[in-house]
Amino acid sequence: MGESLREWLDDRVGRSAGCERALREDGRDDEATLERIRGNVFDIARTVLGVAARQDEDGAARAFFTGRMGRLHGEWSAARERALEHGDEGSAHVEQVKLEVLSEVLRATDDLWVV
């Protein structure tokens, strides 16, 4: 199933946490906050993958996982658009970062999900 993907997500969560710590130590709090957000998205994907793993069949697990990731993409895209409509560039940037990480997760899913 998605064991390689799970390992990749574990690695990405760990890397983001380490990067966030280093950025905070350097006094780069804004960048550290964005890295924490990146790590949170990887962690969300890892959690959804764990739920998907409980599906009876591998095809159902992957469909569940990609369906949830697609739903998040829609929600975060809508949130970005709302932020832009209200002139909230900061929130729009956060939503864009989340969408970029989600795209990275979906690419990794295609590469690493072994049936």
SS3 per-residue string spanning 94-112: HHHHHHHHHHHHHHHHHHH
pLDDT recorded at residue 59: 80
pTM for this prediction: 0.93
Written as tens digits, the pLDDT of the chain (115 aa) is 568 999 999 999 999 999 999 999 999 999 999 999 999 999 999 999 999 988 867 689 999 999 999 999 999 999 999 999 999 999 999 999 999 999 999 999 999 987 6
